[in-house]
Amino acid sequence: MLFLLGFLLLVLFCLTVLVRALLLLPLRGLRQGWEPALRRYGLSLLLCAGVVLWELGALYGFSWQQLGKADRRQMIDAAVAYAYPEAYGSLAELRRDYAYFRPEVSYWDNWEYEGSSDVLDKLLGDTHYQIRLPDLVVVADVHGQPLRYFALDQEQQPVAPDRPELGLVGDVQDEREAKSVGDQLRLRWSQPKRGEAEVHGDCFSAYSSQARNLTLELDALGAVPVQLAQPPGFYRVQAQLVPQDGYRLSDAQHQRITRAEFMRLRQQCRESAAETARAQLN
């Protein structure tokens, strides 16, 4: 209620300023001269001029912080670092895996709703840029600072890396209460001959050099399986297994990483399992 009252008062104030600047000022100027008219209604005219300049800046994508439009290259580098913090720090690094990809920066296109922003949206404050990357879109403010991102669906044709490799490495949080002795996690590709998969205790890794249209399934006795269907690339995964008699579904969170980081984590997983085995023998 208070919000609505405040909004109505703001609308009333704006209408008052518009009437004073666009109607009363010209009438008084024509009847009594422009000097007394400006003395009486000059502040209203300045407020109107300020609002007009601000809205023109919104239509143009003008950053008052930078006194100009945000630099396109800096915006792309910031978007890449924001979207892939553990994999790429700039466009130059991204092109190691996407040599022919050209990012798109748009102030008017809206890939989230597969349309475009209209003039009214910009006048009402939707002063956001969208930066299209290979498999997602980063939304940035008018100054070029990333705010959030969303994934592209298959109909929007995400771009795959130059090499169709897929590597996943991660840990499993197993929430089953009853586990039998020797009960182990199971990890398998939808087409086993096209990839390799390893499970070492509660960590796992999988790799395929022919990863297009390939999925990975993680499950265990009495647990809801997890389907890992990622586009080509390398990912750190946090998977969660829940019992089949529960009301939740197993899920997994993933974060893009570099190939070198994938190799390091996979080796770390193997060594950790070997150390655990030696400790049990002793």
Which of the four pLDDT bands, split at 50, 70 and 90, describes residue 76?
A: very high
Of 80, 89, 73, the closest CA to residue 133 belongs to: 80
- Give percent above pLDDT 70 in the chain: 66
Residue 245 CA to residue 176 CA, distance in Å, equals 10
Say if residue 6's pLDDT is above 60. Answer: no
Domains delineated in the chain: 2-60 (no CATH), 72-156 (no CATH), 166-281 (2.60.40)
Q: Per-residue pLDDT tens for 161-219?
A: 888 888 889 888 877 665 554 467 888 888 888 888 888 878 888 898 887 778 888 88
Question: At 265, is the secondary structure helix, strand, or coil?
Answer: helix
84-106 pLDDT, tens digit per residue, is 888 888 999 888 888 888 998 88
Give the pLDDT confidence score for residue 7 in this predicted structure: 47
Radius of gyration of the chain (CA): 29
Quote the pLDDT of residue 21.
Answer: 54
Report the 10 Å Cβ neighbour count for 123: 14
- Amino acid 221: pLDDT: 77
More confident residue, 80 or 178: 80
Burial of 24 (0-12, 13-18, 19+ CB in 10 A): middle
Q: How many other β-carbons are positioned within 10 Å of the β-carbon of residue 87? A: 23
128/147 Cα distance (integer angstroms): 9
- Single pTM value for the model: 0.69
Strand 196-200: give its sheet, edge to edge: 196-200, 203-208, 166-174, 233-241, 251-257
Q: Which phi-psi region, left, alpha or beta, contains residue 280 (left: φ > 0; alpha: ψ -120 to 50)?
A: alpha
Burial label, 194 (beta-carbon count in 10 A; 0-12, 13-18, 19+): middle
pLDDT score recorded for residue 79 = 92
